Amino acid sequence: MDIIYLHQYFNTPSMQGSTRSYEMARRLVRRGHRVRMITSWREAGGKRDWSITHEDGIEVHWLPVPYDNSMGYRQRLQAFFRFAWHAGRRASRLPGDVLLATSTPLTIALPAVYASRSRDMPMVFEVRDLWPEMPIAIGALRHPLSIFLARRLERFAYYHAERVVALSPGMRDGVIETGYPPSQITVIPNSCDLELFAPDPSAGERFRALHPELGDDPFLLYAGTLGRVNGVEYLVHLAHALRKRRTRFKCVIIGAGSEARALHEIAMRLGVLDDNLFLYPPRTKQEIVDAFAAADMAASCFIDLPEMEKNSANKFFDALASGTPVAINYGGWQADLLNETGAGLVLSRDPVVAAGQLDDWFGDAEQHAGAGEAALTLARSRFSRDRLAEELEAVLQEAAHDSRVIA
């Protein structure tokens, strides 16, 4: 198949952020398909027009559209619509058998539908977040007209999709609530890159050698975005509670985002910065592998928002792939997985109570070792990226086939 793949925030392993689209696309190429990725180049300055590179067989079309997490809501919207306008024109000029568009942002539906109709090729829409449910829940969308238009855009995207891919059962249910046929929805969650996180005894040693301040103490790793919805302040208060308990356990936070400065200030005020809590700048995907190898537990956290329980957090699956036990502070399907398999721990939202949970948990060496094995077993049996890429390939082939039959 010739696949046109639209993802505004595509990353390669040498870049910061999620690499799901890259990993899926390169596996599709490996299975004999041609993939053209339409994406944005987010760095400010330099490039002014489209450029093309080839990344592991993927033909990547880059449009310069500066973007970072510190931007205000209006600036983000401008970036979304600028990309949508130019990406639609670009994609409509490329031949393809099927078009795959992945959110966020939901505005990706505009160029996807335009190109799909222009080229008379079916569209598969991948839902990474229930948008606009999330912006409404956190108050980013408040005006009734904005909410109305956002909901219309959501339904517009689903209405024109031959198939929908949802990243979690909760997201699937949200799509069904809009009236979309359940039989045309496939759940393909974020996945575990067992190749990238293959066991390497020297990986953890490399990370600790770079950070002698950690010593040989056990630590909890958070590697991801430091945005408002992520609620990483929780980990700063957790470090404070652990310090009061005089435990050797440390917290390591790697990332960047709008809350980075606030986290630094809170950590300084509580006296935990560079004591039992360490803040490091973002690392590439390759470098993050070493951090997971060194960590004794990996954390995924969010603010207390029921809508976030439908999320499919990349860091959760990276932890499983590395055989690292996972700690989360929210409920939902990921909490159910941990409770069912013993691959980690569901923490209380009260950092003081959570500190006690961690103390008790790490006091049981057998439980800790078993959790690491359970995490890796879960990664291999249910979330292997190779297997999930095959499922995505099947969805794309069904969409392309059904479209030809109807035509």
CATH number for the domain including 374? 3.40.50.2000
Asked if residue 169 and residue 275 are part of one domain, the reply reads no
Give me the mean pLDDT over the 263-272 stretch. 97
Helix (H) or strand (E) holding 375: helix 365-382
Q: Alpha-carbon distance 316 to 327, whole Å?
A: 9
| 371-387: pLDDT as tens digits | 999 999 999 999 999 99
Note the pLDDT of residue 81.
Answer: 87
Asked if residue 90 and residue 227 are part of one domain, the reply reads no
Note the pLDDT of residue 370.
Answer: 93
Count H helices, E strands: the chain?
15, 14
Asked if residue 361 and residue 252 are part of one domain, the reply reads yes
Note the pLDDT of residue 404.
Answer: 58
Burial of 198 (0-12, 13-18, 19+ CB in 10 A): exposed
Residue 43 has pLDDT above 90, yes or no: no
Note the pLDDT of residue 73.
Answer: 67
Note the pLDDT of residue 143.
Answer: 76
Count of residues making up the chain: 407
Note the pLDDT of residue 126.
Answer: 96
Burial of 84 (0-12, 13-18, 19+ CB in 10 A): buried
Note the pLDDT of residue 138.
Answer: 67
Token pair listed for 362 = 């790490």
Residue 358 has pLDDT above 70, yes or no: yes
Asked if residue 152 and residue 120 are part of one domain, the reply reads yes
Note the pLDDT of residue 46.
Answer: 66
Q: What contacts 51, CB < 8 A, 6 or more positions away?
A: 41, 61, 62
The fraction of the chain above a pLDDT of 90, given in percent, is 71
* 22 or 307, greater pLDDT: 22
Residue 209 has pLDDT above 90, yes or no: yes
Residue 315 has pLDDT above 80, yes or no: yes
- Kindly state whether residue 333 falls inside one of the protein's structural domains: yes
* Local confidence band at 263 (pLDDT 50, 70, 90 cut-offs): very high
Q: Alpha-carbon distance 46 to 48, whole Å?
A: 7
Q: Which amino acid is at 105?
A: P
* Local confidence band at 306 (pLDDT 50, 70, 90 cut-offs): confident
* 139 or 1, greater pLDDT: 1
Residues 103/127, Cβ–Cβ less than 8 Å: yes
Token pair listed for 135 = 């912006």
Asked if residue 261 and residue 211 are part of one domain, the reply reads yes
Residues 303/296, Cβ–Cβ less than 8 Å: no
- Kindly state whether residue 196 falls inside one of the protein's structural domains: no
Q: Which amino acid is at 11?
A: N
* Local confidence band at 71 (pLDDT 50, 70, 90 cut-offs): low
Residue 309: phi and psi, rounded to 5, are -70, -15
Asked if residue 134 and residue 70 are part of one domain, the reply reads yes
Peptide bond into 105 cis (omega under 30): yes
Residues 181/11, Cβ–Cβ less than 8 Å: no
* Local confidence band at 55 (pLDDT 50, 70, 90 cut-offs): very high
Asked if residue 249 and residue 348 are part of one domain, the reply reads yes
Note the pLDDT of residue 268.
Answer: 97
Average pLDDT for the chain = 91
Asked if residue 281 and residue 245 are part of one domain, the reply reads yes
* 219 or 367, greater pLDDT: 219
Give the pairing type, strands 123-127 and 98-102: parallel
- Kindly state whether residue 295 falls inside one of the protein's structural domains: yes
Domain span at residue 78? 2-191+384-406
Note the pLDDT of residue 13.
Answer: 84
Give me the mean pLDDT over the 249-261 stretch. 94
Asked if residue 247 and residue 116 are part of one domain, the reply reads no
Note the pLDDT of residue 367.
Answer: 85
Q: Where are the alpha helices (DSSP H) in 218-295?
A: 233-244, 260-270, 285-294
* 285 or 323, greater pLDDT: 323
246 dihedral zone (left: phi>0; alpha: psi -120 to 50; beta): left
Asked if residue 245 and residue 105 are part of one domain, the reply reads no
* Local confidence band at 205 (pLDDT 50, 70, 90 cut-offs): very high
* Local confidence band at 176 (pLDDT 50, 70, 90 cut-offs): very high
Note the pLDDT of residue 236.
Answer: 98
Q: Which of 331, 213, 315, 313 is nearest to 254 (CA)?
A: 315
Q: What contacts 75, CB < 8 A, 6 or more positions away?
A: none
Number of separate domains in the chain: 2
Peptide bond into 284 cis (omega under 30): no
Note the pLDDT of residue 283.
Answer: 85
Note the pLDDT of residue 375.
Answer: 96
* 366 or 399, greater pLDDT: 399
Whole-prediction pTM? 0.86
Q: Alpha-carbon distance 404 to 258, whole Å?
A: 46
Token pair listed for 252 = 């390591």
| 237-250: pLDDT as tens digits | 999 999 999 899 99
Q: What is the DSSP string of 35-80?
A: EEEEEEE-SSSS--S-EEEEETTEEEEEEE----TTS-HHHHHHHH
Note the pLDDT of residue 326.
Answer: 97
Residues 50/90, Cβ–Cβ less than 8 Å: yes
Asked if residue 175 and residue 299 are part of one domain, the reply reads no
Residue 101 has pLDDT above 80, yes or no: yes
Q: Alpha-carbon distance 249 to 347, whole Å?
A: 15
Asked if residue 343 and residue 296 are part of one domain, the reply reads yes
Residue 31 has pLDDT above 70, yes or no: yes
